[in-house]
Structure 1
Amino acid sequence: MSRQIILDTETTGLSADAGDRVIEIGCVELLNRKLTGRHFHYYLNPGRDSHEDALKVHGISNEFLRDKPRFEAVAAEFIDYLRDAEVIIHNAAFDVSFLNKELELAGLPPFAAHVERVTDTLAMAKELYPGKRNSLDALCDRLGVDNSSRTLHGALLDAELLADVYINLTRGQDALLIAEETGPGGAEGSVPSLDLRTLSLRVLPASEAELQAHALLLRDIDKASGGKTVWPIAKNA
């Protein structure tokens, strides 16, 4: 069974090395690409105030965090929740740097020691959409994910949105997953095979207009990739 955790954090600022700390952790769980409803979410007392610019992003006041637990108080529960899962993060280097610092201060091994692997959806999006904006909001707009409730950043809300974005980014994997789940044998488990020799298929050739539109699309993709596509581009398209 494939277990994945979608994770996001909010922080007091931009640099863990400069002393900024995690103030919120939000995670949601996917089993076989389905949300389970089992999530991990804590606000944390960072022991310092957030920078003014960070407050404008997440809106989590210093006063609100005063009575919240410290990271070390929830660290064991956090590690147990993540253990051996694939963890999916948008701009993973940022969140992992902060979580590594928190784990270090708590006297615990770094993040990678507790999980199977980390997948960065920002890196995935840059591969799929070179030269385009690939923030979480931009990907929600591009992939039809409703982010209308996201007026401020929040770790749990952003993790939920990122789960939808990830499913859409990797939609082509569904067929492979169905094949893995069904496997050999029985009406429940087997994918029916077709004898192509007995099929009579009508071939519908593309029209001239459709061929021209296809050539234009290939040209645009080639241009967006900086000429890195492997197919020949029609010069008169």
Structure 2
Amino acid sequence: MREIVFDTETTGLSPKDGHRLVEIGALEMVNRVETGRSFHIYCNPEREMPSEAFAVHGLSDAFLASKPLFSSAAQQFIDFIEDSPLVAHNAQFDFGFLNTELELAGHAHVSLDRMVDTLAIARTKHPGAKHSLDALCSRYGVDRSQRVLHGALLDAQLLAQVYVELTGGRQIGLVLPDDEKAPVAAGDGEDRLTQSNDRPVRAPRPHQASDAERARHAAFIAQLTDPLWPDEQAKS
């Protein structure tokens, strides 16, 4: 199964307020494994960068002034994502900006049916806990030491690792397709243990009571007064 994990950086919180996308990073996963293929671009937002947003990602007006418009790379991004599901953290935010930019560039929106929101998954799996990307990295032992500021491609790479853990860990689908006797990953419903030809055959363990044990049991029962069970069962 092919999936795209992506993240965006923007000038603000909502495209409805005139804010624009300034960075998008995406990477390809197949069967929850990163393939090494990625897409990354900085975009000139055609507006000034608010100080609040700059404090989050550190992308300045001077840096972005020489970058291309998103519209110039829109088709390249569309070709990269194909028709795959799109995974993002707080995906409504990222989809909102992505679809606004696609519309401004004259392209169709990406259907929300393709959206996989890791924030929603985390809230269901860990109710009452912190669900930020930093918090989930800490929970699952994902190294985020390079994340001094937010960055779309770096955050997508971190999110890909978190997504794998949120959806079952690295053992998902651990079955070798060419080996019918391959073990199934934990939690797949049954254990398929193969019998080794080198293992010695053991005789069955005795599990029935011996005559002496039956006699001791009968003597113990005979001492009881007013037992809860019928006399017929006590004599058996």
Same fold judged by TM-score > 0.5? yes
Q: What amino acid is the match of 1:48?
A: R
Counterparts of 2:67 and 2:4, CA distance in 1: 23
Is it true that 1:121 corresponds to 2:118 in the alignment? yes
Within 5 Å, which residues of 2 pair with 1:3-22?
3-22=2-21
Is it true that 1:157 corresponds to 2:147 in the alignment? no
* Counterparts in 2 of 1:195 and 1:15: CA distance versus 1, 3 Å: closer
Is it true that 1:191 corresponds to 2:181 in the alignment? yes
Q: What amino acid is the match of 1:144?
A: G
Q: Report which of the two has the higher share of helix.
A: 1
Match of 2:171 among 152, 165, 174: 174
Counterparts of 2:144 and 2:6, CA distance in 1: 17
Is it true that 1:91 corresponds to 2:129 in the alignment? no
Counterparts of 2:110 and 2:11, CA distance in 1: 20
Counterparts of 2:127 and 2:52, CA distance in 1: 29
Q: For residues 126-182 of structure 1, what are the alpha-carbon distances to aligned partners after superposition, in whole Å with 9 as ceiling and x for unaligned? A: 00111111000000011100101111000000000001101111125834x234x62
Match of 2:34 in 1: 35
* Counterparts in 2 of 1:145 and 1:155: CA distance versus 1, 3 Å: same
Equivalent residues, number: 190
Q: For residues 24-45 of structure 1, what are the alpha-carbon distances to aligned partners after superposition, in whole Å with 9 as ceiling and x for unaligned? A: 0001111121111110000000
Please, which runs of 5 or more residues in structure 1 have no aligned partner?
Answer: 183-187, 203-237
Match of 2:44 in 1: 45
Q: What amino acid is the match of 1:33?
A: R
Counterparts of 2:109 and 2:145, CA distance in 1: 35
Offset of residue 111 of structure 1: 1.5
Match of 2:136 among 134, 139, 143: 139
Q: What amino acid is the match of 2:118?
A: T
Aligned residues of 2:164 and 2:170 also touching (Cα < 8 A): no
Between Structure 1 and Structure 2, whose CA radius of gyration is higher? 2
Counterparts of 2:73 and 2:115, CA distance in 1: 21
TM-score (norm 1): 0.75
Match of 1:55 in 2: 54
Counterparts of 2:22 and 2:41, CA distance in 1: 8
Please, which runs of 5 or more residues in structure 2 have no aligned partner?
Answer: 183-191, 196-200, 206-236
Q: For residues 178-217 of structure 1, what are the alpha-carbon distances to aligned partners after superposition, in whole Å with 9 as ceiling and x for unaligned? A: 34x62xxxxx331354489x999x9xxxxxxxxxxxxxxx
Counterparts of 1:4 and 1:199, CA distance in 2: 49
Offset of residue 86 of structure 1: 1.4
* Counterparts in 2 of 1:167 and 1:66: CA distance versus 1, 3 Å: same
SS of the counterpart of 2:72?
A: helix
Match of 1:210 in 2: none
SS of the counterpart of 1:5?
A: strand
SS of the counterpart of 1:76?
A: helix
